[in-house]
Amino acid sequence: MAADPRPRERVRRGPRTAGWWRRKSLRFRLTAVASVALGAALMLSAYVMISVLGRSLIATIDDSIYQRARDTVSLADADRLPDEMTSPDGTLLQVVDAAGRITHATTGTDRLVPLLNAGGRAAAIGEGQARFLDGGPYGIPHLLRVRVLSADRGLTVIAARPFSEVQTSITTAGHVLVVGTPLLLVLLGGASWMIIGRTLRPIAALRRGAEEITDTARSRRLPVPEAHDEVHSLAVTLNDMLARLEKADARQRALVSDAAHELRSPLASIRLQLEVALGHPHGQDWQETAEGVLEDTMRLARLAEDLLALARLDERGGAPSRREPVELDQLVPQTVERYGEAVTVKVGDGAIVVAGAALDLGRVLINLVDNALRHTDAPVAVELRAEGADAVLTVTDDGPGIPEPDRERVFDRFTRLDSARSRDEGGAGLGLAIVRETVHAHGGAVHLEDARPGLRAVVRLPLS
């Protein structure tokens, strides 16, 4: 027997409906949800109001017929009942004796048949509250609200009042609510649509501002609304992000431009030497040409290594490549050993351990020593000591030094002073930039100070 495909069809409608809902605008969804919530609240309010109104009107009628019944009981007990009883508020009154005969009644009330028989009267007295009674069998075309009280000498007073006025009031209120509630819901829905639209207007402005930002207009900023709300915070955060992206983009473009400029010089030198050698092969000193080409090739290799190191630092976002205990008191002597007598080293007593990457910290020391050796003929002094909670590494030379206004600028990428721009000075202005970013990645700091004579580079790293 084939399975009924209808349950499967019902299952598929759910995702389609959800997809239709998600495709609607945020303004539409918020307005729809608000309208549904308002509609439910209005319906509940209408139901509660009708219920409260009905109970209030019933209580009013009950109090009225009870008061009329009490007054009649008082007159009956005093034997002062008039022959013609009247009721200004329309309450129907019957006084019934112990034999079930009506002795007194208001005008328009049956004088032969009591509204309640003996059993009904006894039950009503026992209940002590009013009850509903159909007036049709008694020639009264209305539903009645009846209250029964007992008097002296076996008399019973029956007070009744038509319930039609309460029904009319409730029906009228219901008609007003049936007509007014949808109108009110439409008005509230329209107001919600306008309010939500005005609330979302700053978001639309953000979207239009984002559309206007292109690769040729990166310096644009998104509009920030005046109200200090969540949209204001979002706009400020996005503008901060755009500023960071713009700064990173400018830094990347500057790096590419400077790298291209630095690469052009050695490549042009290699090309020139090779063209001259090939143009005059017989009179060319090939040994000298090879040495010149090798020198420029080594310069290219150092530049490539420095660029790769900076790229890795940028990729890690200011974090060391690894974090492990590094014994600087062992690393520093091993690193400067390669320089022989050109470098002197002094290490303080005891173990000096920091957390980080030994390879990166070794590169910091090498860059500082290489930079010092370019500007001095005397041995470079390297010293390591523990000072408080920091490990302090200094590299000192007796060269010409750096003017104080330029000591911070030399840590920027591709920055070289005018006196160090010749090819013989070597370097591309990346060594100190690598030093600063590597030290910062390890939670430390680096600065230059006057050694009188010469220059001293001071690196501080937190001890682990």
- The string of pLDDT tens digits covering residues 282-322 is 777 788 888 888 888 887 887 777 777 777 776 766 666 67
pLDDT of residue 354: 92
Alpha-carbon distance of 261 to 157, in angstroms, equals 117
pLDDT tens digits, 164-205? 878 888 888 888 888 888 898 889 888 888 888 888 888 888
Tell me the two tokens of residue 111: 């004088």
pLDDT of residue 252: 75
Q: What is the pTM of this model?
A: 0.49
Of 408, 379, 401, the C-alpha closest to 455 is: 401
Q: Which residues contact 437 (CB under 8 A, 6 or more apart)?
A: 310, 313, 318
Q: Which has more pLDDT, 364 or 225?
A: 364
Of 17, 196, 163, 179, the C-alpha closest to 90 is: 163
Alpha-carbon distance of 435 to 363, in angstroms, equals 8
Q: Is residue 346 left, alpha or beta, with left meaning phi > 0 and alpha meaning psi from -120 to 50? A: beta
225-230 average pLDDT score: 78
pLDDT of residue 394: 92
- HSE toward the beta carbon, residue 326, CA cutoff 13 A: 22
Based on the domain organization, do 38 and 179 belong to the same domain? yes
- Say which residue the tokens 């062992």 belong to: 330
Of 412, 417, 384, the C-alpha closest to 401 is: 417
Based on the domain organization, do 201 and 274 belong to the same domain? no
**Domain-located, residue 11:** no
**Cα dist from 182 to 168, 172, 187, 189, whole Å:** 22, 16, 9, 10
Based on the domain organization, do 180 and 254 belong to the same domain? no
pLDDT tens digits, 404-420? 888 888 887 777 665 44
Task: With both helix axes pointing from N to C terminus, report the angle between 358-373 and 431-441 in degrees, rounded to the nearest 10.
Answer: 150
Based on the domain organization, do 208 and 221 belong to the same domain? no
The DSSP bridge partners found for residue 158 are 94, 148
Based on the domain organization, do 208 and 220 belong to the same domain? no
The answer to whether the CB of 428 falls within 8 A of the CB of 323 is: no
What's the chain's average pLDDT? 82
pLDDT of residue 423: 40
Tell me the torsion sign for CA atoms 224, 229, 235, 237.
positive
Based on the domain organization, do 52 and 149 belong to the same domain? yes
Task: Measure the CA angle with vertex 409, ends 366 and 463; round to 5°.
Answer: 50
102-131 average pLDDT score: 86
**Domain-located, residue 4:** no
- Say which residue the tokens 């390297």 belong to: 382
Task: Say how many C-beta atoms besides its own lie within 10 A of residue 274's C-beta.
Answer: 13
User: DSSP string of 89-139?
Assistant: T--EEEEE-TTS-EEEEBTTS-SSS-SS-HHHHHHHHHHTS-EEEE-GGGT
CA dihedral 374, 376, 379, 382 (to 10 degrees): -70
- Say which residue the tokens 């729809």 belong to: 32
**Domain-located, residue 109:** yes
Lowest mean pLDDT among 6-20, 93-107, 145-159: 6-20
Based on the domain organization, do 176 and 61 belong to the same domain? yes
pLDDT of residue 327: 92
Based on the domain organization, do 296 and 398 belong to the same domain? no
Tell me the two tokens of residue 312: 């890795």
Tell me the two tokens of residue 32: 């729809």
Based on the domain organization, do 44 and 179 belong to the same domain? yes
pLDDT tens digits, 333-361? 998 898 888 899 999 888 899 998 888 88
209-229 average pLDDT score: 73
The DSSP H or E segment spanning 42 is helix 26-77
**Domain-located, residue 435:** yes
Q: Which domain holds residue 411?
A: 324-462
Last residue of a domain, one of 298, 317, 336: 317
Based on the domain organization, do 128 and 162 belong to the same domain? yes
- The yes-or-no verdict on residue 392 having pLDDT over 90 is yes
**Domain-located, residue 129:** yes
Cis previous bond, 453, omega within 30: yes
Based on the domain organization, do 198 and 277 belong to the same domain? no
410-433 average pLDDT score: 62
**Domain-located, residue 51:** yes
Give the domain CATH number at 241: 1.10.287.130
Based on the domain organization, do 50 and 87 belong to the same domain? yes
Count how many domains the chain has: 3
Alpha-carbon distance of 164 to 350, in angstroms, equals 105
